[in-house]
Structure 1
Amino acid sequence: MTLQYPEVGEFVLGTVKKIVPYGAFIFLDEYGMDAFLHISEVSSGWVRNIRERIKESQKLVLMVTRIDPEKRQVDVSLKKVGEADRKRKLESTQQAKRAEKLLERVAIKLGKTPQLAVKEAGEPLTNEYGELYAAFEALAIGEEPKSKVGKAWLDAMREVAKAEIKEKFVCERGVLKLKCFAGNGVEQVKQVLSIIEKMGSEKTEVEIHYVGAPVYYVDVQAPDPKTLGKMMGKIEQTVEQKVSKGMEWSFEREKK
């Protein structure tokens, strides 16, 4: 049986098996193999006693630093893992477990085995999206995968995804300054604002908030950054097209 090794630089989840004076033997949960954590890779500072930093059976997020397939050796580091890296890995691991459970539900729904679900739907969608949970998220918002997966699988996965996965939204605020010096200036400004607010759709929400003449906040909520960016650009283009002679305007996206 050929072992599947992680890649150098990859963040992995491991369980501390045995601690020795010069390091610790780690079981890599996702790969089913052992790795070694040298005491010098536990912390950026001096470690007098490794047992003061880690405990046996403890779960750790580690970075793979060296692989030697011939000797079947994998070296890992704890000190090279930042807090943000640790959180992302733990979240990814939780999502992978959840995706596995969701796929099992899909299999039961169709009267199929979990193994067949993985082969016919899980594997091709994971190859396309990188992670199975990402595929479920895409199906939840109505995205159509390019993978060759049977319609029955996709329909069942879409149904489960919509029931179990809450849509994630990204938000951004634009600052609109709008002046009109004509006699009916107030009405003209209201008309432009009304057009902007109606630009929202089923998946993209647009709200106008009055700050104080001539400043208005334009808050946009969308399912992904790409859709959000398109809407912000469309709003600016629409304002430019709809303002009439005698009106002054500017539109800036707030810096995050």
Structure 2
Amino acid sequence: MRWASLSEEEEWPEVGELVIATVDRVFKYGAYVILDEYEKEGFLHISEISSSWVKNIRDFVREGQKLVLRVLRVSPEKQHIDLSLRRVTKRERRERILLWKRARRAESLLRTAANRLGVTFEEVYEKAGVPLEDKFGELYTALEKAAREGEEVLTECGVPEDLAKVITEVAKEKIGVSIVKVKGTLNLTCLKPDGVLKIKDALLRAKKIKKPRGTGINIYVTAAPRYSIVVTAGDYKTAEEVLKRAVETALTTITKYGGKGSFTRD
């Protein structure tokens, strides 16, 4: 979502686009609404409110109500936008409202970051919001990723380090990031004179495998020769994949050293 007030050129919605609108004035023949993301007025004719007969328009729309509408016609010259309510499915309405709420949430987080830095929201949006939307398609997705994986997510998109640090701090405070955990037990033995060092190296190699940012691997002794391995990640699929590779690394390494190993999933 790009905020209209930040654009150098006047923005208009595209025909077919789903927009969020607030009902402003209701008449017998239709309703005038304000498009929240464009700050423009649009018109919803009574014939576009419902597929069934509309006896009383106020049974369907009322002042102050939020609606998801489809854009039918746009005329910048006449400053006019025609909209439809009946051509929006329940699924489209649900998905568009969710996207709108996420955009509002993202804006709130950037405003908080701007306040902490003592700068304007517009400045923060231009330096962070624009490049993040270009990269991820949606700002809130980028902020979720930063909360989970760290400020590098932002700096890699060109966001200045000082700004990325504050935005990440705000994101971690405000966004509930889900963390999943998978674990198991490695049984490693090596009877060679330096067997303890071989086992230690196998575990160290397992812990240092390449993994997605934000994913953690912890290995600790349960009771030799048993070692617990715990993987944390943002989702189960990633956690399972990392656990599998870590275990394979440990078992391959200890076998190469002439030892033996096995793994049991907890």
Q: TM-score when scaled to structure 1?
A: 0.64
Q: 1:93 aligns with which of 93, 97, 100?
A: 100
- Within the alignment, does 1:106 sit opposite 2:113 as a pair? yes
Equivalent of 2:176, from 166, 188, 193? 166
Give how far 1:204 is off: 8.3
Deviates more, 1:41-50 or 1:81-90: 81-90
Going from structure 1 to structure 2, the CA distance change for 1:113 and 1:24 (only over 3 Å counts) comes to closer
In the alignment, which residue of structure 2 is the partner of 1:64?
71
Cα gap change, 1:106/1:2 in structure 2, threshold over 3 Å: closer, same or farther? closer
Deviation of the 1:117 alpha carbon: 1.3
Q: 28, 31, 36: which one pairs with 1:21?
A: 28
Match of 1:156 in 2: 166
Aligned residue for 1:193?
none
How many angstroms does 1:109 deviate by?
Answer: 2.7
SS in 2 for 1:17: strand
Gaps of 5+ in 1: 171-197, 206-219, 243-256
CA deviation string 1:78-130 (max 9, x = no partner) = 11222232222222222222222211222233333323212222222222222
Is 2:252 aligned against 1:223?
no
One-letter code aligned to 2:96: K
1: CA distance, partners of 2:95 / 2:33: 20
- In the alignment, structure 2 segments of 5+ residues that lack a partner are 1-7, 181-206, 218-230, 252-266
Number of residue pairs the alignment of both structures matches: 197
Give the corresponding residue for 1:119: 126
Moved more, 33-42 or 160-169: 160-169
Counterpart of 2:76, as a letter, is P
For residues 234 and 91 of structure 2, what CA distance do their matches in structure 1 show?
23
The answer on whether the counterparts of 2:143 and 2:171 sit within 8 Å (CA) in structure 1 is: yes
Q: What letter corresponds to residue 40 of structure 2 in structure 1?
A: M
